[in-house]
Structure 1
Amino acid sequence: MSHEQHENPRQNVTFPATDEAGADHAHGYLALPADGGGPGVVVVQEWWGLTDHVVAIADRLASEGFVALAPDLYGGRTTHDSEEAARFMTELPPDRAARDLAGAVTYLLQRPETTSATVGAVGFCMGGAFVLSLAAQQGERIGAAVPWYGVPGPDTDFTGLRAPVLGHFGAEDTSVPLDAVRATAERVREQAGVEVDLQVYPAPHAFYNDERPNHRPESAELAWERTTAFLRRHVR
């Protein structure tokens, strides 16, 4: 599917989907700090698409001093229906997402507003899984990886991962069980030898999303504060 087939009014930037000459393009939402520059952060969407909620996350990161880019992995499509979201996620080719995310890293590092030599990667639900895959793929270009309630499949190769990891997960999350989370963290430590800080909250899945019934403000704000402190410490 071409990314030109759908338009999302939240899109405000276009960038090459890979580093290769003649590559096709991806779209996304870029938010800049008020003073114009700061460390770069890629924001990876939930399975709903590039929604107002994802835009709000990028805007909030910009208000905290980061240059935030949320790639539109669905090429403009969004949904609030879980069955449709599951279908969108299933239809998203992993190599297509990987190219878009790699392009987003390159684009951020090349933006004149980005002051860091690396970028942070923050992702939610489906995006949390992509964050760890992206960090493994991009190596030294990712300065910090922050997955929220998402982990990639058990066959993921983490040997290329160099970034410290801060993960936020809910003790009441039935879709991402803590046993799987801990097993993933152990594989990251074994294969990559990097620090993995797992934070567990008394909350269900998607507890940061204030558009969903699972929103838990206290856990969300604590995880947010930890995230921004972690990004400031490691993305330089």
Structure 2
Amino acid sequence: DEIRKVVATVPDAQVLSDLDATIAWASQSAKGDSRRVAITGFCWGGRITWLYAAHNPNLKAGVAWYGRLVGNTTDLTPKHPVDVAAALKVPVLGLYGGKDTGIPLDTVEQMRDRLKPSSSQSEIIVYPEAPHAFFADYRPSYRETEAKDGWKRLQAWFQQHGV
């Protein structure tokens, strides 16, 4: 719970900049192939996955696991995934739980609608019986079937998009 307090104080702009710096370091150090960069994230990281895919059009793909799609606009969080969806160029696969009490299905549908005019070919999968954090095998919310299916979809998505 301590990490939540820290994460809540970090501006999105800093997170996106930190990710840019990480990719630059990997590229310059020859420890990574900057032509095959992808991103995935869970919960808070799922939201960042959508935002970073909009920020960095050089990504090959992204997979967002139950990342919040809407929210209040603040200095720390000036935009949310629904705000950047229409302009998205990077293909992002969104994996969501139909029983997620923190991410209402109407916001998932709103995101789907906002993605339609984009050229990203992004997709959203909803697992009807899954709650939030269905991939977290250390929590009661873990759902093995959905988690394994999501992982297979992540691997196929990244392969399909050249990662």
TM-score band, normalised by shorter chain:
0.7 to 0.9
1:189/1:128 CA distance change after superposition, 3 Å: same
CA apart distance, 1:108: 3.5
User: Which residue pairs with 1:146 in the alignment?
Assistant: 63
Return the match for 2:148 from 211, 215, 221: 221
- 1:197 is aligned to 2:123: yes
**AA partner of residue 153 (structure 1):** V
**AA partner of residue 146 (structure 1):** V
Q: How does 1:24-39 map to 2 (within 5 A)?
A: none
Higher RCO structure, 1 or 2 (CA under 8 Å, sep 6+) = 2
User: Which residue pairs with 1:182 in the alignment?
Assistant: 109
- 1:165 is aligned to 2:83: no
Output the CA distance in 2 between the equivalents of 1:159 and 1:199. 18
1:180/1:111 CA distance change after superposition, 3 Å: farther
CA apart distance, 1:153: 3.3
- 1:90 is aligned to 2:90: no
1:200/1:159 CA distance change after superposition, 3 Å: closer
- 1:125 is aligned to 2:51: no
**AA partner of residue 147 (structure 1):** A
Return the match for 2:18 from 85, 93, 100: 100
Where structure 1 has 5 or more consecutive residues not aligned to the other structure, the ranges are 1-80
The structure whose Rg is larger is 1
**AA partner of residue 104 (structure 1):** T
CA apart distance, 1:88: 2.7
1:198/1:102 CA distance change after superposition, 3 Å: same
Question: TM-score, normalised on structure 1?
Answer: 0.58
Q: Percent identity?
A: 32
Output the CA distance in 1 between the equivalents of 2:103 and 2:149. 20
Q: Deviations over 1:106-165 (max 9, x none)?
A: 3334453534613111110000000010010101x1111110001343653345522112
Output the CA distance in 2 between the equivalents of 1:188 and 1:109. 30
Output the CA distance in 2 between the equivalents of 1:207 and 1:121. 19
1:145/1:175 CA distance change after superposition, 3 Å: same
User: Bigger CA drift: 145-154 or 124-133?
Assistant: 145-154
User: Which residue pairs with 2:161 in the alignment?
Assistant: 234
Output the CA distance in 2 between the equivalents of 1:159 and 1:179. 17
Output the CA distance in 2 between the equivalents of 1:117 and 1:208. 28
Q: Is the 8 A contact 1:144 1:234 kept in 2?
A: yes
User: Which residue pairs with 2:76 in the alignment?
Assistant: none
Output the CA distance in 2 between the equivalents of 1:207 and 1:109. 33
CA apart distance, 1:89: 3.1
Q: Which has the higher helix share?
A: 2
1:108/1:134 CA distance change after superposition, 3 Å: same
